[in-house]
Homo-oligomer: A and B are copies of this chain.
Amino acid sequence: MAFKALLFDVFGTVVDWRSSIIAEGAAFGAAQGLNIDWAAFADGWRAKYQPAMQRVREGNSGWVKLDDLHRANLLELLDEFAISGLSDSEIDHWNKVWHRLNPWPDTVAGLTRLKRDYILATLSNGNVALMVNMAKRAGLPWDAILGAEVAGHYKPQPEAYLKTAGFLGLAPEECLMVAAHNGDLRAAAACGLGTAFVCRPTEYGPDQDFDLAPENDYNFAAEDFLDLAGQLGC
């Protein structure tokens, strides 16, 4: 069966969250006269991501969208880094740095080629507003914003993959999950989706020692989105 839609992981696969946060942090720190290790700040924020979603997955708190998880994690982080005195609106602005992440250099050109032949949808744990604002700023040409919030389940729960395919009116095997993370692709494959690994070896910085290569037999393994477009004949 031919693939009709490409479903994209976004943080790390489409956008470079780490360097984007470091850059905003450095500018903020310079303006405020703060001496902060912004790489550690970015990594610390991201380290709180999976545990926060896990609490939602375990159903202890009902659905909580990622913007709200990010904000609760940010409050902890500001305390850990001894950054104080920010107003609520300044904290909100900081929290929305996730809406202002920059794409990898190949992202927009690659998506633009892929869009000619496939439906392109997000299948991210990011909430709809985050994805829409990011796309608007970065020029990401999505056909649909789907994923965790619309499905009501965070990846890697199967409902996140299956409901996303269902919203598109497609069988799982008509959807190709595109991600830089082996765990995401294993969960998608277990639901019957096709899989494409795209290598993002510096997502976690220069010392990244995981997700450097495909660990399973995926349908595709690509260097970047332009390579994937070429392999798909776009």
Listed in ascending order, the chain A residues whose CB lies under 8 Å from chain B are: 67, 119, 121, 127-130, 132-133, 135-136, 143-146, 149-150, 167-170
Chain B residue numbers with a CB within 8 Å of A135 are 143
Indicate if the CB atoms of A144 and B128 lie closer than 8 Å: yes
- Which of A67, A143, A144 has its CB near the most chain B CB atoms (within 10 A)? A144
| Bound Cα distance from A144 to B121, whole angstroms | 10
Contact A67 B167, CB 8 Å, known A136-B143, A143-B136: no
A129 x B67 contact (CB < 8 A)? no
Question: CB distance B128 to A168 under 8 Å?
Answer: yes
Please tell me if the beta carbons of B128 and A167 are within 8 angstroms of each other in the complex.
yes
Rounded to whole angstroms, the CA-CA distance of A127 and B170 in the bound complex is 13
Q: Report the minimum CB–CB distance from A121 to chain B (whole Å).
A: 8
Q: How far is the CA of A128 from the CA of B128 in the complex (A)?
A: 14
A169 cross-chain contacts in B, Cβ below 8 A: 67, 127-130, 133
Which one, B143, B149, B150, contacts A132 given CB within 8 A?
A: B143
Stoichiometry (number of copies): 2
Q: Please give the distance in Å from A107's CB to the nearest CB on chain B.
A: 17
Contact B145 A144 (CB under 8 A): yes
Contact assessment for B149 and A136 in the assembled complex, using a CB-CB cutoff below 8 Å: no
Complex interface: chain B residues within 8 A of A129 (CB):
167-170
Residues of B within 8 A of A150 (CB): 150, 167
Complexed CA–CA distance, A173 and B168 (Å): 30
Across the A-B interface, the 3 shortest Cβ-Cβ residue pairs = A129-B169, A128-B167, A144-B145
Residues of chain B within 8 A (CB-CB) of A121 are 132
Measured between beta carbons, the chain B residues less than 8 angstroms from A136 are 119, 143
For the complex formed, measure the closest distance between the CB of A136 and the CB atoms of chain B, giving whole angstroms: 6
Known A-B contacts A119-B132, A136-B119; A167 and B144 likewise in contact (beta carbons under 8 Å) = no
Bound form: Cα–Cα A2–B167 in Å: 32
A128 CA / B143 CA spacing, docked (Å): 10
